[in-house]
């Protein structure tokens, strides 16, 4: 690990911005789960970096780097001055990670003993504060060579850090790393082509409930557990509704009720958080549903791709019933639907009036977020392969590619690449943003990228 001090100018601007924020805006510097608040992937109120190069020792934008043992694709989660990640450490050394385009249907050859861990770092310095081994043993399900045994991002609620490792169990720690409880949900083997591709859905927490999506094709279900002790509140079988999925559930409130929206194939379904009763459903499309639903301006955005179909679906938060069989889908809650243009693995982001989708073939697509009109479709660059989800801050969209190149795109109806930046290592995890710093989790490190001269100059002009 190495640390670097922030420029005096940068520090002044950050402190000035912090002093001007309200209490609610300060709370928004937390990034408490996958893709932050509401899984929107948005951070506001601070300038963020445009250009950097993490391979250079003298780049002042690189505030610190910290090594992460093992292999994991969970994204950083930030609460206060703590950053949480998960990982799986093989006892017999490094494990294989397939990077780049192309794929296969073979499971990774890493059936030896491993340790599943939760790690906590100091946000300011990158110093590791604590690590806890949740489970040791031989993996109970296989993973794809591009995946890991620690794909699932933790969720933090109050003093509770919830980590789910699929077949290796659910764990609740406090912020200091003390285990509060654990629960074994059995084997969750998300399979296709007769192999397990690895568990990927992250836990969602709301109003004392933990919601987990366990769409093992042989026994798909969704369950709600008590945050206090992990005891089951309800469980709904999803046979016939979903054969497999990797997306994280979205929980939102509407009309004094909380709903859980789950991406799936052949059906996308919303449930009542407290009872598990179905609220609405709509037919999906891509047969490998991975992106996570999110809400902007009372519109729920859903997408998937694979098997020849790649829909983008936008549904009102007050939707009811079967939208696919309704005689008036618009009245039932459908806003717009495009049968082409959806993303495979990467969750999109909405900035202003526009929806942006990154794809595994390196193509970035832009649609009008309200009307569904396609605005552009452009290739990011040679070798771009976007698996991690998009995030955005201050009219800049960050698109990490597997090869460690981060494309910074200007928000708006015109395609404009502001910068191509290097992390120096493969990146399949979704970044997190807090108080102007972007935190990237690569195959081997956690990297903090702070505002640089160009971004702070822009901030100075705005002050």
In percent, the amount of the chain with pLDDT more than 90 equals: 80
The CA distance from 329 to 318, in Å, is: 13
H/E run at residue 19: helix 8-20
**Reading across the β-sheet that carries 170-173, which strands appear in turn?**
155-157, 160-164, 170-173, 179-183
What would the pLDDT profile of 389-399 be if each residue is shown by its tens digit?
A: 999 999 999 99
> Which alpha helices (H) appear in 240-395, and where do they start and end?
329-332
Q: Would you state the pLDDT for residue 192?
A: 82
Q: Would you state the pLDDT for residue 99?
A: 81
Q: Would you state the pLDDT for residue 401?
A: 95
Q: Give yes or no for a contact between 302 and 310, defined as CB atoms under 8 angstroms apart.
A: no
Mean confidence (pLDDT) of the chain: 90
In terms of CATH, what superfamily is 2-462? YVTN repeat-like/Quinoprotein amine dehydrogenase (2.130.10.10)
Tokens linked to 213: 């999506």
pLDDT band of 96, cuts 50, 70, 90: confident
What is residue 166's DSSP assignment? Answer: G
Q: Give yes or no for a contact between 285 and 306, defined as CB atoms under 8 angstroms apart.
A: no
Instruction: Say if residue 205's pLDDT is above 50.
Output: yes
Instruction: Say if residue 1's pLDDT is above 90.
Output: no
Contacts of 136 (CB under 8 A, 6+ apart): 113, 114, 115, 116
Higher pLDDT, 294 or 195: 294
Q: Would you state the pLDDT for residue 101?
A: 66
Region 85-112 average pLDDT:
81
Region 406-415 average pLDDT:
98
What is residue 37's DSSP assignment? Answer: G
pLDDT band of 440, cuts 50, 70, 90: very high
pLDDT band of 22, cuts 50, 70, 90: very low
Instruction: Say if residue 211's pLDDT is above 60.
Output: yes
Higher pLDDT, 377 or 102: 377
Domain ranges within the chain, ordered by starting residue: 2-462
Torsion of the alpha carbons at 427, 210, 208 and 433, rounded to the nearest 10? 10
| Cα-based angle 306, 73, 369 (whole degrees, multiple of 5) | 50
What would the pLDDT profile of 350-365 be if each residue is shown by its tens digit?
A: 999 999 999 989 999 9
Low-confidence winner among 79-83, 84-88, 284-288 (lowest mean pLDDT): 284-288
Q: Would you state the pLDDT for residue 144?
A: 87
Instruction: Say if residue 186's pLDDT is above 50.
Output: yes
- Residue identified by tokens 């919303």 is 270
Cis peptide bond upstream of 266, omega within 30: yes
- Residue identified by tokens 């939760």 is 118
């Amino acid at each position: 690990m190495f640390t670097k001090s922030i420029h005096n100018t940068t520090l002044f601007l950050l402190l000035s911005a912090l002093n001007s924020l309200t209490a609610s805006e300060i709370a928004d510097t937390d990034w408490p789960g996958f893709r932050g608040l509401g899984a929107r992937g948005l951070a506001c109120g601070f300038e963020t970096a445009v250009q950097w190069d993490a391979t250079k020792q003298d780049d002042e934008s690189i505030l610190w780097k910290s090594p992460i043992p093992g292999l994991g694709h969970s994204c950083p989660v930030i609460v206060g001055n703590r950053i949480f990640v998960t990982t799986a450490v093989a006892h017999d050394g490094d494990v294989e990670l397939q990077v780049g385009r192309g794929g296969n249907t073979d499971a990774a050859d890493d059936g030896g003993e491993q340790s599943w861990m939760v790690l906590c770092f100091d946000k300011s310095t990158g110093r590791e504060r604590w690590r806890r081994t949740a489970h040791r043993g031989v993996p109970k399900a296989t993973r794809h060579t591009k995946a890991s045994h620690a794909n699932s991002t933790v969720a933090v609620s109050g003093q509770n850090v919830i980590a789910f490792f699929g077949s290796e169990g659910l764990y609740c720690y406090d912020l200091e790393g003390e285990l509060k409880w654990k629960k074994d949900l059995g084997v969750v083997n998300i399979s296709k082509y007769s192999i397990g591709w690895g568990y990927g859905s992250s836990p969602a927490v709301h109003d004392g409930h933990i919601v987990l999506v366990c769409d093992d094709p042989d026994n798909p279900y969704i369950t709600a557990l008590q945050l206090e002790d992990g005891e089951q509140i309800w469980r709904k079988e999803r046979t016939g509704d979903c054969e497999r999925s990797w997306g994280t559930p979205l929980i939102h409130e509407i009309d004094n009720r909380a709903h859980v929206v789950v991406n799936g194939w052949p059906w996308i379904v919303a449930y009542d958080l407290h009872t598990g009763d179905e609220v609405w459903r709509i037919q999906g499309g891509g047969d490998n549903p991975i992106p996570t639903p999110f809400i902007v301006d009372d519109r729920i955005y859903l997408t998937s791709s694979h098997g020849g179909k790649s829909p983008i679906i936008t549904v009102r938060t007050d939707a009811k019933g079967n939208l696919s069989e309704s005689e008036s889908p618009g009245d039932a809650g459908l806003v717009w639907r495009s049968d082409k243009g959806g993303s495979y693995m990467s969750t999109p982001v909405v900035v202003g009036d526009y929806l942006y989708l990154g794809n595994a073939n390196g193509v970035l697509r832009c649609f009008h977020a309200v009307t569904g009109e396609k605005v552009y479709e452009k290739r990011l660059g040679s070798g771009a392969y976007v698996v991690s989800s998009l995030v955005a801050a201050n009219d800049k969209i960050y698109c990490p590619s597997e090869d460690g190149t981060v494309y910074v795109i200007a928000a708006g109806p015109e395609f404009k690449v502001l910068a191509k930046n290097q992390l120096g290592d493969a990146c399949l995890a979704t970044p997190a943003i807090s108080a102007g710093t972007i935190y990237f989790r690569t195959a081997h490190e956690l990297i903090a990228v702070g505002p640089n001269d160009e971004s702070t100059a822009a901030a100075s002009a705005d002050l």
